[in-house]
Structure 1
Amino acid sequence: MAPRRIFLERRSYRMRRMMDAVRLWPLVGLGLWMVPLLWPMSGDGTGAAMPMSAALRYLFGVWVLLILGALALWWRTGRGAREDVATDPANRQG
């Protein structure tokens, strides 16, 4: 007997992956905000330290990136949900 193939509709599969991305987005942001902790510190003479201005630009850049990414994910998932409601025969009035 041949193994059963599981078929997932493309739209629902993509919507699930987008929701996974929404759930992981804060963890991505946390990881990016922790990168400055890996930068060399000054005072021990082992290397050049990262200037505070560069660190602040990095943090605010990540912050803006997180906001824009969250906006894009919100827009994508909202559009997908509207399309699902529009194509669902159970929601049709008539």
Structure 2
Amino acid sequence: MADKKAPIFLARKSYQRRRLRDASRVLPVAGLVLFMIPLFWLQDTETTRGTADAMTFVFAVWFVLVVIAALLGKPTQESENGPDNGKKDGDVL
């Protein structure tokens, strides 16, 4: 008889959780790159972007990063701290 082999692909839920964790690990690097964008704005006399524009951009990026982090964190937290999570009633941690 042929040997039964383990499936090649991972379960969908665990795969999605891992990809969400990967995305949350990349988020700080993406934030750093986005925060550096105002440093590259040219300081022309005709089309000068002032400090107010740069600070507006930084706070907008910060807000978007917070929202993305919340959206990425919610599903991973729910799946790891689910109601049953393989534990019995008397189990502690």
TM-score for the superposition, normalised by structure 2: 0.75
CA positional deviation for 1:87: 5.5
Q: Give the match for residue 26 of structure 2.
A: 24
Q: Give the match for residue 53 of structure 2.
A: 54
Find out whether 1:86 has 2:84 as its counterpart.
yes
Structure 1 portions without partners, runs of 5+ = none
CA distance in 1, matches of 2:89, 2:66: 37
State how many pairs are aligned: 85
CA positional deviation for 1:51: 2.0
Percent of aligned pairs sharing the same letter: 33
- Render the CA deviation track for 1:7-37: whole Å, top value 9, x for unaligned: 1100000000011011111001101101111
CA distance in 1, matches of 2:85, 2:61: 37
RMSD over aligned Cα, in angstroms?
Answer: 2.2
Structure 2 portions without partners, runs of 5+ = 1-5
